[in-house]
Amino acid sequence: MTVVSDVKTCTAGLKHAEAIFSKLALLSEDPEAKQLFHDSMMTIQEVIDQMNERIYKLENEEPQYQGF
C-alpha cells in the first residue's frame, strides 16, 4: 500500500466513526450524552478535513499517488 492509500483508508474509518457519533447524537435522549456525541462528531469532522487536505497535498506533490 502507498502512503496516500493508507491515509484514505484512515479517513474512511474516521468517516464511519463520525456517522456512528451522529447517529448516537440523534438517538440519545439524555441531553448531556447528546451533546457529547455531537461534540465528538464535530471533532472527528475537523480531523477528516485535515486528512483530506493531506490527501490533496500528497496527490499533488507526488504524482505517482494520484488516483490511489
User: Tens of pLDDT along 20-51?
Assistant: 999 999 999 999 999 999 999 999 999 999 99
In a domain, 67, yes or no: no
Cell digits for 30? Answer: 439524555
The residue range of the domain holding 21 is 3-61
In a domain, 9, yes or no: yes
Cell digits for 38? Answer: 455531537
Using CA atoms, how far residue 35 sits from 22, 24, 29, 31, 60, in Å, is 10, 10, 10, 6, 38
Residue carrying C-alpha cell 456517522 = 19
Q: What is the pTM of this model?
A: 0.84
Q: How confident is the model at residue 3 (pLDDT cuts 50, 70, 90)?
A: confident
In a domain, 68, yes or no: no
In a domain, 38, yes or no: yes
Domain count of the chain?
1
Mean pLDDT, the chain, as a whole number? 92
Instruction: Answer left, alpha or beta for residue 28, where phi above 0 means left and psi between -120 and 50 means alpha.
Output: beta
In a domain, 19, yes or no: yes
